Amino acid sequence: MQTTVTPTHCPYCALQCGMNLTPAPDGTVEVSERADFPVNRGALCGKGRTAPAVLATNVRLTSPLVRDAGGSLVPASWDEALDRIAAELRRTRAEHGPDAVGVFGGGGLTNEKAYTLGKFARVVLGTSQIDYNGRFCMSSAAAAGIKAFGLDRGLPFPLEDIPKSGCVILVGSNLAETMPPSLRYFTELKENGGTLIVIDPRRTKTAEQADLHLAPRPGTDLALALGLLHLVIAEGRVDEEYIRERTVGWEDARAAAMAHWPEYVERITGVSVPQLRETVRLFCEPESAMVLTARGPEQQSKGTDTVGAWINLCLATGRAGRPLSGYGCLTGQGNGQGGREHGQKADQLPGYRKLDDPAARRHVAEVWGVDPDSLPGPGRSAYELLDALGTDIRSLLLMASNPVVSAPRAAHIEERIRSLEFLAVCDVVLSETAALADVVLPVTQWAEETGTTTNLEGRVLLRRRAITPPEGVRSDLEVMHELAARLGVEKGFPTDPEEVFEELRRASAGGPADYSGITYRRLAEENGVFWPCPAPAEAMDGGEDTLPDAPLPDDPARETPTAHPGTPRLFLDRFATPDGRARFVPVSHRATAEEPDDEYPVLLTTGRVVAQYQSGAQTRRVAELNAAAPGPFVEIHPRLAARLGAAEGDPVAVVSRRGRAVAPARITNAIRPDTVFMPFHWPGEGRANSLTNPALDPTSRMPEFKACAVRLEAVER
């Protein structure tokens, strides 16, 4: 076992906190502060501190499992398991065509794995049916960012800019629970005299920190943003010069906003006109201001338009592409950013290229050594792919995702997964989804392998291997290498992450998310590099197989045009559109896909708690986290609880058109009386996603996790 201290990063959320790992003599791994990493400056939340608990062999898989004739999952050799997967994928293709094989990835996969998974699907399997759980995370913000700015990068500036801004509006983000170390940026903002405005239907721990908290009805953030823009116009706070010089499309967006009178918006949202006016004042008076969104406005069937409305507010007030101002999305999953850039998304090729762009197909096909015409076209989005399991899609290869818990309308998705002819899952633990598989492959995880991730700032990071993996597990890259070989593709699927990254550099070169100037060496020396970071043009023109290392910061050559420093701040000179101008996109309020009615009179919204992460597959195996957050609950206002006759801790059934979940009542004034909240980390009776609505945003194909109609029923203790 190695015994040195290894600087690396947390396996969980998109903050990608830096940490040091040290193997202890008893076989455990110690986490210690890594103060040199600027994002978290040594701070970690409980999930990060306890992450090594999931490395222990008593909670994880260390042998492949294969379902036997009696229906049980039993240990098998790697050859037996891989042979079975290859045979089933080959059979499915032969009997039903390549699109009958599906691939489902995850926002936790490293860039190297996400890249290889996309290549594996398109080159080895020839299927268009690949998407990933990151679709459920940030796709609405990505779609809106591309429409307005021509580019999607979560934050167009580093977190360190936040405390220097004059005002930040945080929309639908409870980062005090989802990424606690980031809260210090907002505390510093206030210490510096800036204003924090939080918009959330619940008075969360984050909202408690705010100078102003607005609590709109779930699903009405779009109307709220339009009402604010209406007031900006009415009060003469529009930045006409900025609009003239840096944008197009203002007149249509202006007309749409003018239809949203403050009194009308108050009726829709429940936010009073004086609160709207105060928000506009606080946002417009300082020299700089930001709007940051998270899953609240994004996980809606109108998520793209909702984010677009917030972007319009920024553009109308000249708060985008200027120092300490802008719109940003707080990406959720560990590699939610990088995972959407390199090809596991249904419509994308590496470098954030579009699969339906002939030039992009030619470029990537050349790197991959295949005919561009052999690459399939765009496939189904995540929910649509899962919904097609057992019908159009007969076999599925799934990595790093647990849709039985995390997908909307989860009981239906579980039934679709059960109806598959064949399911193979790669995971570190036997998740609820892995438990349904025909073959389960035990794979290495964060501390046991090297790879890169890209955090919410667009900062590409190097996660280093700190310990030797346990006997019996292999990396996802080895899995894809072995399967490719068994399916007749002997070359092009290396198992060394750096070799994969070198190819990713070439595939991304010239694309929107250009990594070609980034190397493992630079990442190690510079504590991360922001994309886009193009390689020297001559290296590209020369068509070299391996790009040269870009010079390091202390290298005098860095000042020459051949050394790109990376791009911490985007859009300061121009936006990434053909003419360099941002686009206003006219949007109007519309209702959620499922409004409350007599039968289902209450709104359900879902989210996370500090001690659990996403579907809980990892964190539910950590004793300290389970002690802090042992199970689901229903957050409910005292008035609603009284009508139901429920006391604190009483079991309450929450029923939607899709299912029923039962969990103890947590009675609090911190939520609106017309809304209940459930965290979504648990399977079984308290599974919040049994209730959620898969109504999709027409552009991003994001399901409406954040608002659906339910009724409450008292349950006998």
Which positions touch ligand SF4 (CB under 6 A)?
10, 12-13, 15-17, 40, 44-45, 47-48, 179-181
Three-state SS letters, 432-464: CCHHHCCEEEEECCHHHCCEEEECCCCEEEEEC
**Which residue's structure tokens are 């995540």?**
382
Residue 139: which of 693, 700, 683 has the closest Cα? 700
Taking only Cα atoms into account, the Rg of the chain, rounded to an integer number of angstroms, comes to 25
Phi, psi values for residue 385, rounded to 5°? -65, -45
Dihedral through CA 226, CA 230, CA 231, CA 236, nearest 10?
Answer: 140
Nearest distance from residue 181's CB to ligand SF4, in Å? 5
Nearest distance from residue 528's CB to ligand SF4, in Å? 14
The residue of the chain with the least Cβ separation from ligand SF4 equals 48
Check: CB of residue 295 under 8 Å from CB of residue 172. yes
Check: CB of residue 110 under 8 Å from CB of residue 463. yes
What gap in Å lies between CA 364 and CA 375, rounded to an integer?
10
Check: CB of residue 680 under 8 Å from CB of residue 406. yes
* Token pair for 59: 């909670």
Nearest distance from residue 633's CB to ligand SF4, in Å? 21
Rank residues 180 and 201 by Cβ distance to ligand SF4 and give the closer one: 180
Rank residues 13 and 289 by Cβ distance to ligand SF4 and give the closer one: 13
Question: Helices 135-149 & 303-316, crossing angle to 10 degrees?
Answer: 40
Nearest distance from residue 678's CB to ligand SF4, in Å? 21
Three-state SS letters, 175-186: HHHHCHHHHHHH
Cβ neighbours for 357, distance < 8 A, ≥ 6 positions apart: none
> Hey, what amino acid is at 681?
H
Nearest distance from residue 455's CB to ligand SF4, in Å? 8
State the burial class of residue 245 (Cβ atoms within 10 Å of its Cβ: 0-12, 13-18, 19+).
exposed
Nearest distance from residue 34's CB to ligand SF4, in Å? 11
Rank residues 160 and 421 by Cβ distance to ligand SF4 and give the closer one: 160
H-type helices in 419-558, by residue range? Answer: 476-486, 497-508, 520-526, 537-541
Rank residues 176 and 484 by Cβ distance to ligand SF4 and give the closer one: 176
Rank residues 21 and 385 by Cβ distance to ligand SF4 and give the closer one: 21
Nearest distance from residue 527's CB to ligand SF4, in Å? 15
Nearest distance from residue 39's CB to ligand SF4, in Å? 8
Rank residues 47 and 361 by Cβ distance to ligand SF4 and give the closer one: 47
Nearest distance from residue 180's CB to ligand SF4, in Å? 6
H-type helices in 579-630, by residue range? Answer: 623-628
Rank residues 181 and 336 by Cβ distance to ligand SF4 and give the closer one: 181
Rank residues 13 and 709 by Cβ distance to ligand SF4 and give the closer one: 13
Nearest distance from residue 188's CB to ligand SF4, in Å? 17
Rank residues 258 and 623 by Cβ distance to ligand SF4 and give the closer one: 623
What gap in Å lies between CA 543 and CA 531, rounded to an integer?
21
Rank residues 13 and 82 by Cβ distance to ligand SF4 and give the closer one: 13
Q: Please list the helix, strand and coil fractions of the chain in percent, rounded to the nearest 5, in that order.
A: 35, 20, 45
Helix (H, G, I), strand (E, B) or coil at 310: helix
Tell me the C-alpha to C-alpha distance, in Å, between residue 253 and each of 240, 257, 588. Answer: 14, 6, 9
For the four alpha carbons of 553, 556, 559 and 564, in that order, the dihedral sign comes to: negative
What gap in Å lies between CA 174 and CA 591, rounded to an integer?
24
Check: CB of residue 194 under 8 Å from CB of residue 286. yes
Nearest distance from residue 428's CB to ligand SF4, in Å? 16
Nearest distance from residue 154's CB to ligand SF4, in Å? 14
Q: What is the DSSP letter of 418?
A: H
Rank residues 175 and 282 by Cβ distance to ligand SF4 and give the closer one: 175
Nearest distance from residue 334's CB to ligand SF4, in Å? 7
Rank residues 34 and 319 by Cβ distance to ligand SF4 and give the closer one: 34
Rank residues 44 and 54 by Cβ distance to ligand SF4 and give the closer one: 44
